[in-house]
Amino acid sequence: MRLSVITIVLLTICSLSFSQTMPPDHWLGQEIRFLQNRGQLWSLSPLNEPYTISHIRSAMQQLPQDNEFREFNNTLLVRWPQTGNTGYALGQWQSAYRNEKKSRYFHSRERLGGGAQLNDWLHTAATVYVDNRLDEKPSYIGKRQSGQAAFFEQAYALALFKSFKVKFGRDVLVWGPGRDASLLISDNSRPMDHLLFSWHNDWLEFSFFSATLNPTFFKVDDKSSTQYRLLSGHRIECRPLPFIYFAISETSLSGGPDAGLDFAYLNPFLFHHAINLNGPNTANTMGSLDIAMMPLSKLKVYGSFLLDDVQIESSVPADREPPQIGYLAGTNIADPFGFLGVDIFAEYTRITNRTYKGQGGPWEKYRHRNQPIGHFLGNDFDRVLGGLSYHPNPNHFFQLTYEHRRQGKGRLDTPFDTPWLDVPEDESYSEPFPTGTVETSRSFSLLTRWRPAWWFGCELMARFWNINNYRNQPGVNKEFWDIRFLFNFGFLKKYGLSQNN
């Protein structure tokens, strides 16, 4: 079975450009996770995405060169030219029929992209994303026209030279572990326009990026105001042993009315929280510590700790502010008791109230185009995720999942409040977790996929939801089924950019 999985991964890689990064929901990511849970492809960091096709191909070439893998490596080398300039065009169409209680609708998503490997070190890529349901979301920022919404999901140039990488443009960025969400930067965020620089060797990588976010237009002193916002981050990731990765990261969301551009937050070698403390321009700074490792064969454990604000002193009323932190911990057991292709997984996430909110102003909320940059549930929640999956061959995949959530009233779209300042100085302050009327939800889901070819696949997902105190409204309960049918089609056209191709 492992041979078949590697075969289809290699064939898929051959069909894409070196420069292309995987979209957040690409099925190839599932195959990479499946192999990593079995000790393969650990030259690809499970803490830092997206992967380019060239990185995946390089990881494949590092697999043991025995009879088991030689045939597939040779297939890869034959199907993809080693030299010369190559362009490509690709498309993807996903259509789904969704059936919720008293709600049935058709959901269609399309991607049309292209790019080129201009030479050995310079690559370009661009992808347009079209969605017929996107503009129905209240949080959507963009033009609404005839039930369709579209935007550039990718548009970047990527330069690779030995140990250095420079990317300029729009693309997804993920820092941290998690099955479907990470704490610091996740693929839930709309892709950001950014400049990214990284350097790496066999055991260490340093990365820095700076991105512009959508401006906000909150009133200041009852007057119209525009707040331009900048998100910067730097990260050191280390691989001291073949099956251990850990990373330390820091981000700063700066900007606001009349803030201007502060080059201190563009300096990759400065500690941004210290810049914030010294002013005069404030920022919402956060740090994270991430780890992923396999302490035993086929046992993977991972975790992430997010630090926004913790008060150390207790001299003034403002020091009674509760800690704003988050953490995520998960594990995966592959092939338990000899059942090949089976994975048992569990994950717990907890983020306290106000963690992704900035005290300096509403423009410091940790979101881009009204979508959370970190975990998709935002603040004031905890979540238990568990289940098992079965992947008998590359064509078939089955997964059964249970999820339990508790969500307090301190959601990301609520203002930053300071109730500890209203407490008498001789009293301490504490608050429950989660806060206020708690929304509690439970769900059971069954997912099955069939993919006979890289360009075609279909998926069926059925999920039952039981929700109490819906949207933190006391006594408002809901039960419903969410059923989705999805068909995924793709096409590829490669062409030469020089007479040598």
Tell me the domain boundaries of the chain. 1-83
Higher-pLDDT residue of 454, 163: 163
Tokens linked to 463: 């999920």
Residue 132 binned pLDDT confidence (cut-offs 50, 70, 90): confident
Q: Which long-range contacts (CB under 8 A, 24 or more apart) does 313-321 make?
A: 317/420, 317/421, 317/423, 317/425, 318/418, 318/420, 318/421, 320/420, 320/423, 320/428, 320/429, 321/418, 321/420
Highest mean pLDDT of the ranges 12-21, 41-50, 401-410 = 401-410
Beta bridge partners of 291: 246, 303
Average pLDDT over residues 73-88: 42
What percentage of the chain exceeds 70 in pLDDT?
A: 84
pLDDT, mean of residues 286-312: 94
List the structure tokens of 242: 């073949």
State residue 277 phi and psi, 5-degree precision. Answer: -65, -35
Q: Which helix (H) or strand (E) holds 8?
A: helix 2-14
Q: What is the mean pLDDT of residues 128-155?
A: 80
For residue 249, give the amino acid letter: S
Which structure tokens are listed for 351?
A: 């983020």
Identity of the residue numbered 326 = G
- State mean pLDDT over 368-378: 95
Q: What is the mean pLDDT of residues 141-162?
A: 83
Q: Which residues contact 333 (CB under 8 A, 6 or more apart)?
A: 298, 299, 343, 344, 345
Whether 404 has a pLDDT exceeding 80, the answer reads yes
Tell me whether residue 222 is exposed, middle or buried, using C-beta atoms within 10 angstroms of its C-beta: 0 to 12, 13 to 18, 19 or more. exposed
Helix axes 28-36, 2-14, angle to 10 degrees: 140
Strand boundaries in 60-121, DSSP class E:
86-100, 103-117
Strand spans (E) along 361-499: 367-368, 371-372, 381-393, 396-407, 439-453, 456-468, 478-496
Average pLDDT, the chain: 84
Q: For residue 240, give the DSSP letter.
A: E
- Ranked by mean pLDDT, which of 20-34, 237-251, 487-501 comes out on top? 237-251
Task: Inform me whether the pLDDT recorded for 229 exceeds 90.
Answer: yes
pLDDT of 119 reads 77
How far apart CA 16 and CA 10 sit, in angstroms, is: 10
**Is 80's pLDDT higher than 60?**
no
Encoding tokens for residue 448? 């099955």
Q: Tell me, what's the pLDDT at 100?
A: 64
**Predicted local distance difference test score (pLDDT) of residue 20:** 66
> Could you give the C-alpha distances from 54 to 17, 47, 76, 83, 388, in angstroms and in order?
8, 18, 12, 13, 31
Burial of 428 (0-12, 13-18, 19+ CB in 10 A): exposed
Angle at CA of residue 454, ends 297 and 44, nearest 5°:
35
Highest-pLDDT range among 135-144, 219-228, 357-366, 395-404 = 395-404
Rg (CA), the chain: 23
Of the listed ranges 138-152, 258-272, 369-383, the least confidently predicted one is: 138-152
Looking at residue 99, its pLDDT comes to 66
The Cα 351–Cα 492 span in angstroms is 42
Q: How far apart are CA 33 and CA 46, in angstroms?
A: 8
Q: Read off the pLDDT of each residue in 130-158 and give the average, rounded to a whole number.
A: 81
User: What is the reported pTM?
Assistant: 0.89
| Cα first-last separation, the chain | 35
Q: What is the pLDDT of residue 3?
A: 46
Q: Binning pLDDT at 50, 70 and 90, where does residue 89 land?
A: low
* DSSP bridge pairs for 348: 329, 384
Distances (CA, A) of 172 to 148, 175, 469: 22, 10, 34
- What pLDDT band is residue 83 in, cutting at 50, 70 and 90? very low
- Band of the pLDDT at 107, cuts 50, 70, 90? confident
Give the residue-averaged pLDDT of 424-445.
92
Does pLDDT of 466 surpass 70?
yes
Paired tokens of 281: 């321009």
Buried residues in 43-63 as b, exposed as e (16+ CB within 10 A): bbbbbbbbbbbbbbbebbeeb
What is the secondary structure of 24-73 as a DSSP string? TT-THHHHHHHHHTTT--TTS-TTEEPPBHHHHHHHHHTS--SHHHHHHH
CA angle 217, 219, 225 (to 5 degrees): 55
Q: Does residue 400 surpass a pLDDT of 60?
A: yes
Look at residue 7 in the predicted model and tell me its pLDDT: 46
Structure confidence at residue 205 (pLDDT): 96
